[in-house]
Structure 1
Amino acid sequence: MTHAATPLRSLEARYYTDPGIYADEITGLLARSWHFAGHASQLENAGDHFAFEISGESLFCIMGRDDSLRTFYNVCQHRAHQLLQGSGQTRVVVCPYHA
């Protein structure tokens, strides 16, 4: 016995393109849930880090000397300069603008 497939329906196009709907998602759904940023294997040693973006926010993960993973906003508090790019290894996070 076979059944006819029920056609799938998609959301209206505006749900994919409307800036207002996206803003609501950022402050609602995206701000209150966990998101995958990377894998712990990318941060095996103290100072290993990678930068990423979620919902328009620049962030970075770094392995601390105490073997704890931490995530920070990727911005200097003084001049809003981006602190890290890509991935790599560092002993200290230093603002490239202020050195």
Structure 2
Amino acid sequence: MKDLKFEQKSSLSRLEAADQLSALAEALRQGGEVELEFGSGTLSLQVPDELRTEIEVEVGEGEIELELELKWPTVRTAATPSRAKRPARGKGSAARAS
């Protein structure tokens, strides 16, 4: 069972959809705690610096479906280094056991 699930379905104009995506993009740029307005409510989220993403496009039955998923853990883990801190490894530089 999920701790929380928020789902909203509505019809939007192309410009309204663009406004929602722009608000989401600005919230992601700011990071930390972000607030997104959906209809008459506000959704507050704590967004970390690193996210996992998944983009899915389905075409069929006379319509196109585009899904964008952003995922991150609810608890920060100190053991997970950020990509910027990982040493670069070129081809053939894999560690070998003796």
Task: Normalising by structure 2, report the TM-score.
Answer: 0.24
Higher relative contact order (CA closer than 8 Å, sequence separation 6+): 1
Task: Normalising by structure 1, report the TM-score.
Answer: 0.24
